Amino acid sequence: MPNQRAEQNEQQIFSAFLTWLRERHATVMAAEAEALRLLESGDTAAHRSHMQRKAELVASMCEDARPHLEGLPGPWRFALTAALEKFSRSASMGLRLGSIFYMSALLYPDDHQPGQPDNLQLCIERMAEQGQDFSG
């Protein structure tokens, strides 16, 4: 029974983490959508600000996720953290460079087509599908 209870607790933690991560993704995408709207209206300063916000949200994602991962077994927590770290590191690079192009391309593969999922969305889907078997 204790083992089953621990497994249930881990699944609840993981489910709550996925909910948090999906919400973070939605917030990132909303910042990007607003940035694009502002660019279309000709407000390049506000566009830059929203793209920077997008990058900041991604850059802080790994650190912000840590409390949501507490209670998961070490290897599972490590795999999830390592996956998020890749995104955060890339976003941090864009912020250091101050490159709007880099911030715009953040999360997208080179051959991305409109309507296709971005890399973070694909990663979240893999996490949800693989659960404790997720390896990044």
The mean pLDDT of 106-117, rounded to a whole number, is: 89
Nearest in space to 108 (alpha carbons), one of 78, 87, 135, 81:
87
Half-sphere exposure of 48 (CA within 13 A, CB side): 7
Residue-wise pLDDT for 6-49, tens only, equals 788 999 999 999 999 999 999 999 999 999 999 999 999 999 99
> How far apart are the two ends of the chain, measured CA to CA in Å?
30
Range of the domain at 122: 2-133
Measured at the CA of 132, the angle between CA 126 and CA 136, to 5 degrees, comes to: 45
Residue-wise pLDDT for 80-103, tens only, equals 999 999 999 999 999 999 999 999
The pTM (predicted TM-score) of the whole model is: 0.92
* Domains in the chain, number: 1
Measured at the CA of 27, the angle between CA 79 and CA 112, to 5 degrees, comes to: 70
